Structure 1
């Protein structure tokens, strides 16, 4: 979660080492920045609201996580689950509602199942990123109900390299955020074959921060028990009754206090009753000598005295606990490139081991102890709080091809395939709690229509098959399988001043869970039946853009999206250590539906761009992890997946100015603002009690400014972001201020 305001000065000079087969001096800009190529023709259809991030922008803005890298774009924020895990949040929607893809094919992104499972990516290997805000549902299915992020990489090169061998080697270091090395090499083999090799390595120790790692509310004597559980603190307190309010002492308690069958204590002595019923008769109660008559109305009957507040596990001021990270990535590929046909294969591997700034309770293994007299007995292990760690490994085998016949009404046909095997593990210190072994196969075919005078389009189909096997002593998911089949078409009519878009997609989604040894079904509303579920989903989008003049335009769109509940929403059960909750799914949940209206006005003249966007989304059967008001041992709040209607609306604005003063001097200025509200419109009594008028954990309204100057081969950039005080808070956030607790660590100033 962002702080109330945050100053991020980004001052840097980048120096790159380059290797070439020739001794001729090289232009670093031309060789360091690969040309961005069109992976597919999605970009040729200007659908609704999509954003393209170039390779050059990524080189300037890349961070430790994908969410943080893109967090300075209006409408997009970082989920922030510690400095090493951050997923993309689009207009308050994240996790299973934002699809992450690689060249149009779905990746094994498990951040929707557990937000600590970060997607490890090699930013230096990316040619660019396409961000689809409210327009990815037709192209990519229901999991893009909130949006989609398409990573376009260079693992399989799709054009000839500028030289027989070219590329860069880079080394970076930071006093706080660690060290990184990377390389990216590209070359040609003969006239038709090209190759690519790249990789990166990054690590950091525990991160230094100013002040405490927990917000002051964690040590406030007024802290309630739910907040104390989330903040992972022990509160030792004593409740003292105000005995001066009670006029009498119970004669019954006086006579029966020593009788064990009544289990009475001195706390039961004081009463407002004049008489007691003792042994079949009423008797007068003696007067309380401490009683003071005439006290003001509302005088409390008891006072709670907090004696101490201590952390479950020791934390050190100035150091974010368990914030270490180590990751690496390797990508290799080769391709055949000709005028009408491209085909290539590639391999991509990523690895990450990093800490989560939180702790979980674990009972250590016991041991057998033998005394001198030969008597042997078993000693139980100690229960201690240990840090939570995460390890992610992924291996992908890729095939991409494109045929461009240029006749028969077809411009291009693409057939892509990916097999991915990934293992994501959650540890309590070094003890394995959960392990997800996921295998995924994705096939996608796209066909570009031959552009007519007014019409162009894109149609296709995709299939995704995923199997997840779960192991570990603290499993919260059963073994499961998912099958997703989709077919889609997207068409555009373009006239001189008007563009009209329309698209439709149909999906079949199947979820299956298998009850295997080691998994205990959910104790939630569904009772853990693990029923098979099939969902038929329909996606629809339409839009129009009118160019009012050469410099101004108006755009409007409407979309209908449907999403099937994911495996954790249907089948989860038991303690989920990474989010410090007991998570319970419900296999009776229905599909989620979003209906969005969006309006935008824009201006573009001589390097100056201005835009203002307003949107409104009605979410039927919105899926959310609801509070039950209960907690169990170890500080685990009990939550259940439920559904209820929600309204989402907001505003976004952006200004950008780019001016080239000369061949060697360039200046960029930018600013943005966004506001989002996620409103409870269900009228559901349980939801009103648990969440209130707004959903918790919403992104904070914010604005920002940026400036950059480029002079020859040097660049200077600065950015300022301010997060406003949250006005629209869920009930749990308002009462317990969850966003200020241990999972909300910041890399800068925490001003609350």
Structure 2
């Protein structure tokens, strides 16, 4: 496509010859050309910026693209051994909870490929969307912030992200020069699983070069459970859940050249993650990933443009599903190259926005090392996309709109090649009818191409004990979503309420039937047959949240509730639907002390898909935190203790495939110290 080649050629020039483009046009405003090595004065409160939004608005400005940003103390209190555990208390977010090592966020009842996982705005390129036993290849312990985003801005990252996206920001490629070395180092110990965790990061500069390093080391044993392993079966009472241990290592390095015109930099990282699968079979997953990223931004590159940003990344991912004796049952590999060019234009006829192009090229497979049926054959996939997001004001209304066109091609070895043309769009409007209150509405239309595993699976999946069978004739999924919101946007007391409905044509899901096979595909084995099928479906729900004094000293509080329902139009529930929840928290900040107490109540979940066997009982989860910070010269030393599941409740998530045999950890005290310099 000629336009794509032209844009990519321009991107390469922007990346490697930024000074030429910076000189080609005079700066239109001083703020855009301000040096990036300025430091924030002590005591100044910085606005939390949503980096996944191309216009880099603050968290409070994301009215048309509902956002949540976890950062600072809030992130450190909530960070767990997986992204699902870290985010499961956020509004509208639950977790897949496939043991301690693998738990992926679920947004408004949508999971897998419908929720896109990003690291610094680029795809994680793992295979966590394929199955709940696969961990997300991004580490929250070294994150500066974690962003949850829905709405028009999500179209910049993929047509299939109808549930939204999660962006882990670790800033491995520096964008600002630090006046002196800064960083933090944290160590913590958890009682429920004998967890030992050390993590840290540091940034500095030499001349105009910014440098970054981060790392994480975590070892946990099998975690304690409150009582029975199997739901409602006293004969299975035990102290610890077998095969729930984890061992994770992660290191990242980055550097960039930073000047008044912008920056250009490179990073490399390595992840090693070995964790158990708490099933009777005792499977383990040995996950490895090498990742290389390039990022560049040029301010005022051409007349009419505020900035041009080019990013590229290569990921070499693999994991082995190991049987109890350590032999590999399935070998997953995914090699991916992604590139993005984003051009942000100056206000034109009242419009301010970003447009660009994205490409992705992947080789994916899930092969049997023993010569049996391959779970997924070697498949080469390519995608090319054009996207646009704009904001404007029409009378009293703020309007936000996005559009994306994408072409996806899947080329499997020994099966049918498929091509999909995908068109997606979204528009939202906000009406601030008084100075403190606003109402909004968003309408979106999105198309998603079937994932490789949904099309071409044809073999055993050891960790889930399923024999997966894809359908190469699946049609593209089409989503039509409407969301209404009402909120109070200023003052110590703030609140918001959302109503949403998502009608999905050709919804793809895995249907477990009564057939079973062995690992060679012969009838009568231990693997349950799971067929990927399509049917029309709808998801609808409501969310509400009230907060008091979330950033100030003294007392603060939060109340929230969320509920969603997913059903097939022909009757019956979608599988693994989240339970209705309500929650409350109270906290206190004063000088160097900080404390908090939170409670979440989940109702019993009895809305089951046709092939699901058991309901999930309700539970109460109570957590607490206490910390004290002492200043030692230029270092802040924070001593903290976190208490999780204080009531030692038997908690089982309705969104987990292992809810019947794998409760969440029991009472846990986490003791730690964090040095920030």
Alignment partners' CA distance in 2, 1:635 and 1:111: 24
In structure 2, distance between residues paired with 1:544 and 1:34: 23
- 1:90 deviates by 0.7
Q: Which residue does the alignment assign to 1:16?
A: none
**Deviation at residue 210 of structure 1 after TM alignment:** 1.5
Partner of 2:385: 486
Partner of 2:425: 540
Matched, 1:551 2:436: yes
Contact 2:152 2:427 in 1 (8 A): no
1:340 equivalent among 244, 248, 261: 261
For structure 1, the 5+ residue unaligned runs are 1-26, 220-314, 361-386, 516-529, 684-691
Change (3 A) 1:483 1:218: farther
Deviation (angstroms), 1:217: 5.9
Q: Give secondary structure in 2 for the equivalent of 1:450.
A: strand
Quickly say closer, same or farther: Cα 1:660–1:67, change in 2 above 3 A: closer
Alignment of 1:515-664 (within 5 A): 515=414, 530-632=415-517, 633-658=524-549
Deviation at 1:715, TM superposition (A): 1.9
Asked if the contact 2:159/2:448 (under 8 Å) is kept, the reply is: yes
1:405 aligns with 2:405: no
In 2 relative to 1, CA 486–740 (structure 1 residues): closer, same or farther, beyond 3 Å?
closer
Corresponding residue for residue 216 of structure 1: 232
TM-score (norm 2): 0.80
Deviations 1:289-332 (CA, angstroms, capped at 9, x unpaired): xxxxxxxxxxxxxxxxxxxxxxxxxx761211100100011111
Shift of 1:341: 1.8
**Which runs of 5 or more residues in structure 2 are unaligned?**
1-39, 518-523, 617-653, 668-677
**What is residue 232 of structure 1 aligned with on the other side?**
none
Deviation by residue 1:267-298 (Cα, 9 ceiling, x = unmatched)? xxxxxxxxxxxxxxxxxxxxxxxxxxxxxxxx
Question: Which residue is equivalent to 1:669?
Answer: 557
Superposition RMSD on alpha carbons, in Å? 2.6
- Match of 1:357, SS state, is coil
Distance in 1, matches of 2:43 and 2:210, equals 18
User: Residues 61-460 of structure 1: matches in 2 within 5 Å?
Assistant: 61-163=78-180, 165-177=181-193, 178-190=195-207, 192-216=208-232, 317-360=238-281, 387-405=282-300, 408-429=303-324, 430-452=326-348, 454-460=350-356
Instruction: State the secondary structure of the residue aligned to 1:570.
Output: helix
Per the TM alignment, residue 339 of structure 1 is displaced from its structure 2 partner at its CA by: 1.6
CA contact under 8 A between 1:480 and 1:511: conserved in structure 2?
yes
Q: CA contact under 8 A between 2:152 and 2:389: conserved in structure 1?
A: no
Greater RCO, CA 8 A, separation 6+: 1
Give the whole-Å Cα distance in 2 for the aligned partners of 1:745 and 1:459. Answer: 46
Distance 1:743 1:573, change over 3 A: farther
CA deviation string 1:18-63 (max 9, x = no partner): xxxxxxxxx9x989x9986857634338473331314213122111
Q: Secondary structure at the match of 1:641?
A: strand
Q: Secondary structure at 1:695's aligned position in 2?
A: coil
Following superposition, the deviation at residue 741 of structure 1 comes to: 4.9
- CA drift at 1:218: 9.6
Measure, in 2, the Cα distance between the counterparts of 1:672 and 1:41: 29
SS at match of 2:76: helix
Query: How far is the alpha carbon of 1:113 from its aligned partner?
Result: 1.5
2:31 corresponds to: none
- SS of aligned partner of 1:569: helix
User: Residue 214 of structure 1 contacts residue 740 of structure 1 at CA under 8 Å; is this kept in 2?
Assistant: no
What does residue 56 of structure 2 align with?
43
d(CA) in 2 for partners of 1:39 and 1:193? 24
Distance 1:39 1:98 in 2: 14
**Conserved 8 A contact 1:120-1:327:** no
Is 1:90–1:133's contact at 8 Å kept on the other side of the alignment?
A: no
Q: Cα gap change, 1:659/1:571 in structure 2, threshold over 3 Å: closer, same or farther? A: closer
In structure 1, the residue matched to 2:68 is: 52
Give the deviation of 1:714 after TM superposition. 2.8
Separation in 1, partners of 2:539, 2:448: 16
Structure-2 change in CA distance of 1:564 and 1:105 (3 Å): same
Rg: which structure is higher? 1
Q: Could you tell me how far apart the structure 1 residues matched to 2:246 and 2:485 are?
A: 41
Q: Does the CA contact (< 8 Å) of 1:134 and 1:147 recur in 2?
A: yes
Deviation of 1:693 after TM superposition, in Å, equals 1.6
**What SS does the corresponding residue of 2:612 show, helix, strand or coil?**
helix
Equivalent residue of 2:84, what SS? Answer: helix
Q: Please report how far the alpha carbon of residue 484 of structure 1 lies from its aligned counterpart in structure 2 after TM superposition.
A: 1.2
Cα distance 1:39–1:127, how it changes in 2: closer, same or farther (>3 A)? farther
- Structure 2 CA distance for partners of 1:319 and 1:545, relative to 1, 3 Å: same
TM-score, with length taken from structure 1? 0.72
Please list the CA deviations of residues 649-684 of structure 1 after superposition, one character each: whole Å capped at 9, or x if unmatched: 0000011111677xxx43321111111001111x3x
CA distance 1:216–1:205, change in 2 (3 Å)? same
Please tell me whether the aligned partners of residues 441 and 465 of structure 1 are also in contact (alpha carbons under 8 angstroms).
Answer: yes
* Contact 1:36–1:55 under 8 Å retained in 2: no
Q: Take 2:585 and 2:189, find their aligned partners in 1: how far apart are those partners? A: 23
Q: 1:698 aligns with which of 538, 562, 577?
A: 577
- In 2, are the aligned partners of 1:125 and 1:198 still within 8 Å (CA)? yes
Instruction: Report deviation, 1:622.
Output: 0.3
Residues 124 and 138 in structure 2, CA contact (< 8 A), matched pair in contact too: no
- Aligned mate of 1:514, from 382, 395, 413: 413
Contact in 2 for aligned 1:406/1:450 (Cα 8 Å): no
Match in the other structure for 1:243: none
User: Contact between 1:125 and 1:153, CA under 8 Å: does it hold in 2?
Assistant: yes
Alignment correspondent of 1:298: none
Q: How many residues align?
A: 574
Cα displacement (A) at 1:392: 1.0
Deviations 1:428-475 (CA, angstroms, capped at 9, x unpaired): 120101111221111000000112473201101100111124432363
- Residues 119-165 of structure 1 show CA distances to partners (whole Å, capped at 9, x for unaligned) of 143324323222122445521122312211122221111111241x2
CA deviation string 1:237-273 (max 9, x = no partner): xxxxxxxxxxxxxxxxxxxxxxxxxxxxxxxxxxxxx
